[in-house]
Amino acid sequence: MPEPKKSPFADRYVNREYSWLKFNERVLEEAANERNPLLERLKFLAIFESNLDEFYMVRVSGLIEQFESGIIEATPDGFTPSEQLDLISREARPLRAKAGKLFESTLRPQLIEAGIEILDYSRLTDGQKKSLRTTFRQDIFPLCTPLLLHPAPSLPFISNRSLNLAVLLEDGEGAQKLARVKIPTVMPRAIRLNKRRHEYVLMEDIIRENLHFLFPGVKILGAHMFRVIRDADVEIRLLEAEDLIETIEESLRRRRFGDPVLLEAATGMPKSVRKTLMKLLCLEESDVFDVDGLIGLDVLWEFTGIDKAALHFPNHVPYLPDAINDERKLLKTLQTTDILLHHPYDSFRPVQQFVNAASTDKSVIGIKQTLYRVGSESPIVEALLDAAEEGKQVAAMVELKARFDESNNLVWARALERGGAHVSYGFPELKTHSKLCLIVRREPDGIRSYVHVGTGNYNPSTARLYTDLGLFTSDEEITQDVVELFNFLTGFSKQTNYRKLLVAPFGLRQAILNKIHREIDLHRKHGGGRLIFKQNAVVDGEIIDALYDASQAGVQVDLICRGICCLRPGVTGLSENIRVISIVGRFLEHSRILYFANGGTPEAFIGSADLMRRNLDRRVEVLTPVQNPDFVAHLRDGILEVCLKDNCQAWELKSDGKYVRRQPRTSEGRFSAQEYLMANPTTKILIG
């Protein structure tokens, strides 16, 4: 007898995979949100699919590996790998169908109304077809390589996330064969028909209409789109590696050839073709999405750059006060006070200037920096190279295990080494995820150090799209902590204790637990207990249990958690004093803040760590105290309370694991935290 189906909820925890799917559903809802401009809705739809692809490439592939290895151990919420795979299949399939329907039924007609149209080939004029035939022969035909799939002596490799046509053929004797034509990626997929109008035709339609040039003399029975998602969570085994860079490069090569985990097939595909693809890829029925409409929603990125201002969010110009608008003013200000920045509301330029000072300021004699995700073009790394060329001491801790950014990081690491910088690559068993930059300066009264500690990557592009915090300080204890942490990262230091920084994996977990229990004790003595945590994810069971303890003691707990949250709020006797919201809006909520009321002497920390086991136990993470009382008050009242007030972009987590979008009450107006932070002058740069 089969086991009875379990609820995706245990008594205390929400299933992690279920919670992530609910997050991606909130992203999809922003694509459906009519308050968002049309081309921004296309972005949300493209992000939804990119998220789902990565989820299958990493999380689902990992569960499949566990299942095939015979692992039956259940997660804290009570699910085995097999049961989680069933849960994901049930939840993800209708989500992808909803995304397809949203585009075809809602967004596509609205694009047409806005003068942007993807034309069906049958609607083209004879002149347009003739022109596209020429385009095919000259530009596309040389890039196409038809490969026989079945019957074939061996299966040609079908690359991850590639778009393909499964072409059903009939030979001269009536036997059917199946071939594959990959849609080239070196050209835009959406081909514009003329410069005056935004009319496009998709490349796969051009290829489909010209298949006779690829298969001359062969009867073509049909051509059907499909896409394959592969396991990309290749374990990078470094413990026994003699050459770190060679090991990373080999792992990147192996990632391309991961096992298939998902097949997306056009709904019109004949059952025989579908079954053949499933057999060739070794996939089950539960591993197939039948897609009605557009396959490969990432093509929508090609339309988001169309220059129609009314279809985009209004332009936002980040704030930059005159007091810190160049390297000289920035460092002079830091001699007497800390600086707290809130991106993208505040400009990222001071962070770049801080790094630039290493090369432009003759008094700066050294710079050390962690690099996790810096992008394919990086003015930050260019500034480090300039500093090295100027003869300054430059040290960079480059994390080569930053998933899907390994290749970029390898390129920059080699460039830094060639430029004369000291480059280290961290530890085989730990990722370095902390965001730190230290500059050392010779001043009239001696050597002085300055530090930037951030919640986000040193990437100017994402700094315009992600909400992040950055603290500049010359506090002697914090700067000395950072110096000693870099010695641990780049050398053979065994230091585990720090003065003011909370550092994982050494003491961060216990420090957070101690502060939660201190809040409980103070509340029992004096009342007024309050915890406000802003995170990307809340997953760690030990931290969740401590928050339950706080709730049961009467402490008010507010969690602002964009993504996964395995805590169940509002459960009588367990978490009735816990409230959880998720904000999904124009900017990706990425900043991490921990606020403790602390019996009337509030404390706040910012940094790189989420409340997940991997962050607390398997990464080098840093949280820094925000020591200026005005800064702490601003974090609470100017950011956290503002987020908690949101009734437009905020979704509230219920005890059953589902989210409900907040709506303005009759007595209150519409309030968007992100819109408020863009417009309200009280949220600008704080200079203590």
For residues 636 and 595, give the distance between their C-alpha atoms in angstroms, rounded to a whole number: 7
CB-facing half-sphere around the CA of 520: CA atoms within 13 A: 16
For residues 325 and 341, give the distance between their C-alpha atoms in angstroms, rounded to a whole number: 13
- In terms of Cα–Cα distance, which of 534, 529, 583 is closest to 551? 529
Please give the sequence-ordered ranges of beta strands (E in DSSP) within 444-585, or none if there are none. 446-454, 466-473, 502-504, 530-535, 556-561, 578-583
Residues β-bridged to residue 530 = 556
Q: What is the DSSP string of 90-154?
A: HHHHHHHHHHHHIIIIIIHHHHHHTTEEE--GGGS-HHHHHHHHHHIIIIIGGG---EEEES-SS
Q: Which of 198, 224, 342, 433 is catalytic?
A: 433
CB burial class (10 A; 0-12, 13-18, 19+) of residue 241?
middle
Q: Are 609 and 618 in contact (CB under 8 A)?
A: no
- In terms of Cα–Cα distance, which of 593, 603, 598 is closest to 633? 603
Rounded (to 5) percent helix, strand, coil in the chain: 40, 25, 35
Q: What is the DSSP string of 80-95?
A: -HHHHHHHHHHHHHHH
For residues 512 and 610, give the distance between their C-alpha atoms in angstroms, rounded to a whole number: 12
Long-range contacts: 60-66, Cβ < 8 Å, 24+? Answer: 60/85, 60/88, 60/261, 60/262, 61/230, 61/231, 61/232, 61/233, 61/258, 61/259, 61/261, 62/233, 63/17, 63/88, 64/231, 64/259, 64/261, 65/231
**Whether residue 523 lies in the annotated active site:** no
CB burial class (10 A; 0-12, 13-18, 19+) of residue 674?
buried
Residues with Cβ < 8 Å from 242, sequence gap 6 or more?
none
Q: Are 531 and 550 in contact (CB under 8 A)?
A: yes
Local structure of residue 419 (DSSP, 8 states):
T
For residues 180 and 147, give the distance between their C-alpha atoms in angstroms, rounded to a whole number: 5
Q: Are 414 and 246 in contact (CB under 8 A)?
A: no
Record the tokens describing residue 607, joined without a space: 């940094």
Residue for token pair 């998933």? 403
Residue for token pair 């730990």? 430
What residues act catalytically? 433
